[in-house]
Amino acid sequence: MALLNFMKKVARVDLGNSAEVEAFLQGYSIEVMPRTAEKVDDFRAYLPKGTRVYIAHIEGTPIEDMVATAARIKSEGYDVMPHFPARIIKDEATLADWIARYQAEADVHQALLLAGGIGTPHGDFHSSMQLLETGQFDKAGFKRLHIAGHPEGNKDIDPSGSDANVMEALHWKQSFDERTDAQMALATQFAFETGPLIDWADAIKAAGIDIPIHIGIAGPAKLQTLIKFAIACGVGPSLKVLQKRAMDVTKLLLPYEPTEVLAQLAAHKAANPDSNIEKVHFFPLGGIKTNANWAIEHGGASGRPANAF
């Protein structure tokens, strides 16, 4: 244990300008599931006031569990953003029912819309665009609608490996953003290289997509855990960063921390304040408490938990 702690200290990556990192982490969001949320007694001990908490809806999770989790986290003072995966929603009546439940029981007015990671749709929907087209979110007065972003592409959408279909969908969503009052943002899949993330953000902005980007960051986790999730989630070329790390015996025992990626993104944002990269969205693959404690340690006032104010 002593050796491992020593290795952690000497291997810690310099976070660079701490003021830049603190500013970049301000207003970060984090993702939970009903079963992971149950492990946290009180989110106020870990998350800053007003943190947006996404609730991932995995296939097979009853809507009752999703709504109960949303209500509990909302009661602790947080903005709740449940996932609406198109391919597990049977029809428009089911969609309307879910929206009504979230509003009645958890006062929810925002959502992340995505296709969902299953091959065969359960019913009428297969894309987030179809959910938007129903008008149900507008009818219910949802103020904020986020959509998924894919900096490394998405083989489900573009099996050929190109980005043609992804870009077509982004242009449709940009048009939706312009013709409606919805506040939109792109919440991206996590990746492990900064350069391609910045290049992607710049490229879609140049193509006329100016929806703000909330960049996905994998929180601290064991390397083996992270590689497993990265493969399951379809992380692209940046997976080689983890694979290279796994080949280094001096790093194999160390947990992954997002220090380098965040320091580089923070420096980029400080140097380019007009960048469409706006906020950080954490995927707490090593656990919610672990991720939140990392943000508390590295984020200054931007990571300070609610009960510390």
Per-residue pLDDT tens over the stretch 254-295: 678 999 999 999 999 999 999 999 999 999 999 999 999 999
Q: How confident is the model at residue 253 (pLDDT cuts 50, 70, 90)?
A: low
Q: What is the pLDDT of residue 138?
A: 96
Per-residue pLDDT tens over the stretch 72-117: 999 999 999 999 999 999 999 999 999 999 999 999 999 999 998 7
Contacts of 123 (CB under 8 A, 6+ apart): 89, 90, 91, 94
Per-residue pLDDT tens over the stretch 6-54: 334 333 445 556 899 999 999 999 999 999 999 999 999 999 999 999 9
Q: What is the pLDDT of residue 6?
A: 30
Domains, the chain, in order of start with CATH, read 2-308 (3.20.20.220)
Q: What is the pLDDT of residue 186?
A: 98
CA–CA distance, 176 with 169 (Å, rounded to integer): 11
pTM greater than 0.85 (yes/no): yes
Per-residue pLDDT tens over the stretch 185-244: 999 988 888 998 999 999 999 999 999 999 999 999 887 777 776 666 666 555 565 656
